[in-house]
Amino acid sequence: MLTEQEARDAVIVALDCGADEALALADRLAGKARWVKVGMTLFYAEGPRIVEAMRERGLRVFLDLKLHDIPFQVRGAARSASLTGADILSIHGLGTAAMVEQARAGVEEAALERGGDRTRLVAISVLTSMDEDALREIGVGVPLAEEVSRLAKGSVDAGSDGVVCSPQEASRLRELLGGEALIVCPGVRPAGSAVGDQKRIATPKAAISAGASKLVIGRPITQSEDPVAAFEQVIAELVAE
């Protein structure tokens, strides 16, 4: 069981929408939620100013850009993303140890330039929209759990602060990576919520119990009739005995 403050720090509200809607949601959630996710759709449309706008509202930002390119490009991209003020940045675990190392170098450079805490890195393992069949479709023949563990361990060894994985892999990765690793879990759905395009899901409480550090929850909150009430319902679930 989490305290209320721990629960509020654990939930990242995914703002996968346009700028006007995202800012309106941020205004409603400010003072209640502590974290939001800015993904590619929103960031590509609005650029660094959307991160700045969220931080002006007192919200911390998970910038979910899933960087994946040659090491040189990722170093520069990670530095630029970190300079926006992002607190957490995602990269792809498939990018090799050299790419992860350069991403770490990029966020360290940015921390020296802007001062303050370094942006933390989390490596994407296997997207929560994928299952065993999807892995085979792209030529990965090992079991999904094995692939997630391989990518997670390699990324953390190379300098990532943690990983992004489904709640179904959280327990195994917590044991593999240790207590300090940042384990971010999308694919979290409160009881009764629509699954959408997610394949490997769990309830908020189950995900935390499995070892997740942070939960990314989007549509069950943002597309509800009352987003604040939906957010508070998640918090209530996490603090309930």
Low-confidence ranges of the chain (pLDDT < 50): 192, 195, 197-198
Active site residues: 66
> Domain of 228: which CATH number?
3.20.20.70
202-205: long-range contacts, CB 8 A cutoff, minimum separation 24: 202/166, 202/167, 202/168, 203/237, 204/11, 204/234, 204/237, 204/238, 205/237, 205/238, 205/240
pLDDT tens digits for range 59-68: 999 999 999 9
Let me know: does 62 contact 87? Beta carbons within 8 Å.
Answer: yes
Tokens of 199: 């394949």
Q: What's the 3-state SS for 55-100?
A: HHCCCEEEEEEEECCCHHHHHHHHHHHHHCCCCEEEEEHHHHHHHH
Number of domains in the chain: 1
pTM attached to this predicted model: 0.92
Interatomic CA distance for residues 15 and 18, integer angstroms:
8
Interatomic CA distance for residues 131 and 212, integer angstroms:
20
Q: What is the pLDDT of residue 201?
A: 57
Range of the domain at 227: 4-239
Q: Find the helix packing angle between 19-29 and 48-56, rounded to 10°.
A: 20
Interatomic CA distance for residues 11 and 221, integer angstroms:
11
Q: What is the pLDDT of residue 105?
A: 98
First-to-last alpha carbon distance for the chain, in angstroms, is 6
Q: What is the pLDDT of residue 198?
A: 46
Let me know: does 90 contact 123? Beta carbons within 8 Å.
Answer: yes
Q: What is the pLDDT of residue 197?
A: 46
Is beta strand 182-185 parallel, antiparallel or unpaired with respect to 214-217? parallel
Alpha helices in 138-240 (DSSP H): 144-158, 167-177, 204-210, 219-222, 227-239
